Amino acid sequence: MNNKNQEFRHPTGRPAMKILRLERSLFAVALAVPLALGGLVSTASAETVMRVIPHADLKNLDPIWTTAYISRNHGYMVYDTLFAMDESFTPQPQMVDTWTTSDDGLVWTFVLRDGLMFHDGAQVTGEDVVASLNRWGQRDGMGQQLFKNIVSLEAADDKTVVMTLSVPYGLVLETIGKISSNVPFIMPKRIAEADPFEQITEYVGSGPFVFEADEWVPGNTVVYTKFKDYVPREEPASAASGGKVAKVDKVIWQYFPDNTTAMNALMAGEVDFFEQPAPDLALIMASNPDITVEVNDPLGNIGFARFNHLLPPFDDAEVRRAALLAMKQEDYLAAAIGDPQFWKTCYSVFPCGTPLANDVGSDVMSTGSIDAAKAALAETGYDGTEVLIMQPTDIPVLSAFSLVTAEKLRNAGFNVNLEAMDWATLTSRRALRDPVGEGGWNMFHTWWIGADVIDPMAIAFSGDPDTGWFGWAEDAELEEARAAFAVAGSAEEKAELGAKVQDRLWAIGASGQVGQFFVPVAYRNNVEGLIKSPVQFFWNMSVE
């Protein structure tokens, strides 16, 4: 692959941007930053190694316990799934060979394909599948809705799983084949029987790579080796589906908390792939003829400002709505992303350009007025309670979002405390329901890939504080609409219910939407086989 025309490739439909040729002095300054690569470079060996800069530090290894995308990406390296989404978001069989549905739509029978084996040498069985789905179904939004309609889930024999429903459910395959957090990864029964609200401590999967726990250095390095007994499907790779062919012997994730250092490692040829460079640095890298920079996800990302609904002051819906009134998407996206070619405002809770996108109730965010926010906050009787915003300084986009929110809320009359930390710490701390003085929090920022929030089944839209996403929103009307969507038959009915879900989300001030944006990947031209997908996969990829 080459980059002769020096253009970004992006999905916005706008004319491609010619990358400006940068002065040599700019490169000289950038390259002066120390690389701090340690022993990253391998000596001569027949072993093929792909070196990757991941978007975050991997600290939490249980992709069912957390929705963090770095943990999801880790999950895809190690585990496999029953079904998987192809590039058109159609579920395709992955670990499943054949399946049947009864005439009344209530009984689903799945038969596993031959050759499925865990990394410890044990055969994958129906009991492993049942235990894995049961645990996942207690944490994932789509899984929770599905399990509300499951009468029984049983292993008929070593290779057969039977799911019996109380009512016909139109999203069975879409649910157990979902592409992103939380992904229904299949684990050994002994591991999957763990409490879903506690992290697992053993990491054995049946996927194309083995996690080398002894070589894991949090904050630095994660090592995966090719699982030689993995049997790929014969179909070509398409997003998360098809043949997962490991074309390298080893994949090393090397984490860099500083984006400029990471950029220089890629430009110097010390690493092969940079998953999520800061947009301003992408301009520099795209001017290097040895590097390709492109957008890999056509739906992009949806920025979120998440409130903690349990603690003051955001335990009051009117206070949350007052905060929303201050949020102007253009300000967030200009600060965090920069070039408008890679972002757009979107006041739908579902990604703009997707079937359920609408503008119901969006007036609470579409003005971005500090004066309106200040007046609304005064009407609530807000008493000056501190708002603690967790700021992940090692994720440039989220760090910028945090700074913008802090300024806007202060201008609106909130008492704001911005607390800096790394993303790994934030993803652990956001699970705490404790008071702020005991480790709790009031706000954090994140993003969801568009595919994760494409319909009301997303855990981000839950109104159940016991099983919902961090922040723990509570709204019975919201939950009724989500449950109805899960069994809706027609596209018209789904659109009506989607609008109702959105109306309730805005009414209760569940989260702030800070816009839709597209972050490119960057890789050296010795890398081939990149799969177009909202999720970064490392099978099918090779290095020359």
Give the start-end residues of each E strand in 171-265. 209-211, 221-226, 250-254
Give the start-end residues of each E strand in 364-434. 386-392, 415-421
Q: What value does the mean pLDDT take over residues 136-159? A: 97
φ/ψ of 514, rounded to 5, equals -110, 20
What pLDDT was estimated at residue 446? 98
Does the pLDDT value for residue 18 go beyond 90? no
Spatial neighbors of 521 by CB under 8 A, at least 6 apart, are 273, 274, 275, 276, 277, 293, 294, 295, 296, 530, 536
What pLDDT was estimated at residue 45? 56
Give the start-end residues of each E strand in 255-411. 273-274, 291-294, 301-307, 343-344, 386-392
> Nearest 5 degrees, angle CA 453-CA 458-CA 459?
130
Q: Which two tokens stand for residue 403?
A: 């700074």
Beta partners for residue 226, in sequence order = 209
Q: What value does the mean pLDDT take over residues 329-347? A: 95
453-504: pLDDT as tens digits:
999 999 999 999 999 999 999 999 999 999 999 999 899 999 999 999 999 9
Of 459, 450, 515, the C-alpha closest to 184 is 459
Task: Name the percent of the chain lying above pLDDT 70.
Answer: 92
Q: What value does the mean pLDDT take over residues 359-387? A: 96
* Distance between CA atoms of residues 240 and 532, nearest Å: 9
Q: What value does the mean pLDDT take over residues 424-448? A: 97
Give 263's DSSP letter: H
Q: What value does the mean pLDDT take over residues 16-38? A: 38
* Distance between CA atoms of residues 371 and 174, nearest Å: 44
What is the average pLDDT value for the chain, to the nearest integer? 92
55-107: pLDDT as tens digits:
999 999 999 999 999 999 999 999 999 999 999 999 999 999 999 999 999 99
What pLDDT was estimated at residue 32? 42
Does the pLDDT value for residue 233 go beyond 70? yes
Q: What value does the mean pLDDT take over residues 115-134? A: 98
CB atoms within 10 A of CB 221: 17
CA 430 and chain centroid, separation: 15
What pLDDT was estimated at residue 19? 34
Helix (H, G, I), strand (E, B) or coil at 535: coil
- DSSP of 41-98, one letter per residue? SPPS-S--EEEEE-SS------TTT---HHHHHHHHHH-B-SEEE-TTS-EEESSEEE
